[in-house]
C-alpha cells in the first residue's frame, strides 16, 4: 500500500511512493458514532502476479478489507485476460476512502480464482495498523 506509484518508461520499473503501514486518526469524541466511518484518504494497493506454464485465459482477482474483528468492510474484484507469453504483470488498484470500525490491525486480503475453478485462493495479506485517538475537538473556551 502506498500513496502513489510511477512507472519508468525506459526500464518499465515501478516505484512506490509513501508506503503506508500505519495510520493514526484523531476523532472528535462529540461527533463519533458507533458505526464505521470512512477516512478520506487516497492510496494504491499494488500487486505483482506471476503466470506459470504459458497459462492463458482469464484470471479473476478479488480483494477484501478486513477489520480487527474479522468483519469484511469492503471488497473489490477485477478480471485480467492473460495473453500467451506473459510471465508476470502488476496491478495498481486505486482506493478512495478507507472504512474504519475500530482501532487495530486491518488486513487487505488478495485472492484469485483461475478460469474454470469455483473457489478463490488467498495469495497475499497486507497489514495496516489503525490507531484512533479520541479527542474533544469541539469544545469552545469559556467566556468570562
Say which CATH number the domain at 47 has.
2.60.40
pLDDT, tens only, 24-76: 988 876 666 666 788 888 999 999 988 877 667 788 899 999 999 999 999 99
Residue 45, C-beta contacts closer than 8 angstroms, at least 6 positions apart: 1, 63, 92, 93, 95, 108, 126
> If you count DSSP H runs as helices and E runs as strands, how many of each does the chain have, helices first?
0, 9
- What confidence category does residue 135 fall into, taking pLDDT thresholds of 50, 70 and 90? confident
Whether the model clears a pTM of 0.85, i.e. scores above it, the answer is: no
Query: CB of 16 within 8 A of CB of 5?
Result: yes
CA distance 20 to 23: 8
Q: Is residue 141 one of the residues assigned to a domain?
A: no
**Rounded to 5°, angle at Cα 40 from 35 and 42:** 130
Query: CB of 76 within 8 A of CB of 47?
Result: no
CA distance 34 to 71: 15
Classified as helix, coil or strand, 87 is coil
Q: Is residue 143 one of the residues assigned to a domain?
A: no
pLDDT at 21: 94
Q: Is residue 58 one of the residues assigned to a domain?
A: yes
Domains of the chain: total:
1
CA distance 141 to 144: 9
Find the domain containing 60 and state its range.
2-133
Query: CB of 57 within 8 A of CB of 82?
Result: yes
pLDDT at 88: 85
Q: Is residue 75 one of the residues assigned to a domain?
A: yes
Amino acid at each position: 500500500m502506498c500513496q502513489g506509484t510511477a512507472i519508468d518508461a525506459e526500464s518499465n520499473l515501478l516505484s512506490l511512493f509513501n508506503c503506508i503501514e500505519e495510520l493514526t486518526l484523531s476523532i472528535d469524541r462529540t461527533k463519533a458514532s458507533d458505526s464505521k466511518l470512512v477516512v478520506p484518504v487516497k492510496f494504491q494497493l499494488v500487486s505483482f502476479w506471476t503466470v506459470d506454464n504459458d497459462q492463458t485465459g482469464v484470471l479473476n482477482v478479488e480483494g477484501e478489507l478486513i477489520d480487527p474483528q474479522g468483519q469484511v468492510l469492503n471488497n473489490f474484484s477485477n478480471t485480467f485476460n492473460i495473453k500467451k507469453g506473459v510471465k508476470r504483470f502488476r496491478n495498481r488498484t486505486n482506493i478512495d476512502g478507507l472504512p474504519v470500525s475500530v482501532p487495530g490491525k486491518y488486513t487487505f486480503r488478495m485472492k484469485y480464482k483461475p478460469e474454470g475453478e469455483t473457489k478463490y485462493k488467498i495469495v497475499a495479506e497486507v497489514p495496516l495498523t489503525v490507531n484512533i485517538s479520541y479527542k474533544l475537538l469541539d469544545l469552545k473556551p469559556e467566556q468570562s
